[in-house]
Chain A
Amino acid sequence: DAKTTQPPSMDCAEGRAANLPCNHSTISGNEYVYWYRQIHSQGPQYIIHGLKNNETNEMASLIITEDRKSSTLILPHATLRDTAVYYCIVRAKRNAGNMLTFGGGTRLMVKP
């Protein structure tokens, strides 16, 4: 699975959009982009995923560049409860054991 690069930390004002970038320049054609988050002392939580088209759900939007080498997770109106570590993961449709490999993530701090 391709490696991802994320900034270690970001701040966002409450009520504003939080835009979390992820670089995955070595992504292969069959690899999906997944986003998870981990709120303090909880297990990771699935947010969204995509292949090449932009995606939106009730939690967030995922924007993937045309060359697929980077993506951005957008939380449209960040709240204090969105403070968490956000993980961008690139994973092939099939890998041994269907494992999900986490990197260091971005620690998002939403401030009042």
Chain B
Amino acid sequence: DTAVSQTPKYLVTQMGNDKSIKCEQNLGHDTMYWYKQDSKKFLKIMFSYNNKELIINETVPNRFSPKSPDKAHLNLHINSLELGDSAVYFCASSQAGGGLNYGYTFGSGTRLTVV
């Protein structure tokens, strides 16, 4: 059983398109996150979300928006895709307390290529 699953694994799309990446966790965690890993391999937090609050990294363009239909899902919507959005996007989740005792569990990533 995959703990944190993301779909699709690969996504190739043209500039200007709108796309979504889905994330689901079956761990019963209450907080989910999206990270972006660019070509230089730096992992940057984009969003933190639980049923109480959404925390947005101030550097994230408003073309990116997380949507959570329920506690087990946090999807990432991206509008008007740009070349610079090409990266690997990782979803993660943690237990109550922000993963203090058991850490975060990450998905396997979605490689987005904008052409």
Contact = CB atoms under 8 A, between A and B. Distances in A.
A44 interface: yes
Contacts of A87: 43
Contacts of A43: 4, 90, 92, 106-109
Interface in B28-65: 31, 33, 35, 41-45, 47-48, 53, 55, 57
B103 A34 contact: yes
Given A85-B41, A99-B55, A44 B104 contact: yes
Interface in B89-112: 90, 92, 94, 97-100, 102-109
A90 B100 CA distance: 11
14 contacts: A43-B107, A43-B109, A44-B104, A46-B104, A46-B105, A96-B55, A97-B45, A97-B48, A97-B53, A97-B55, A97-B98, A98-B31, A99-B48, A100-B99
Interface of B: 4, 31, 33, 35, 41-45, 47-48, 53, 55, 57, 90, 92, 94, 97-100, 102-109
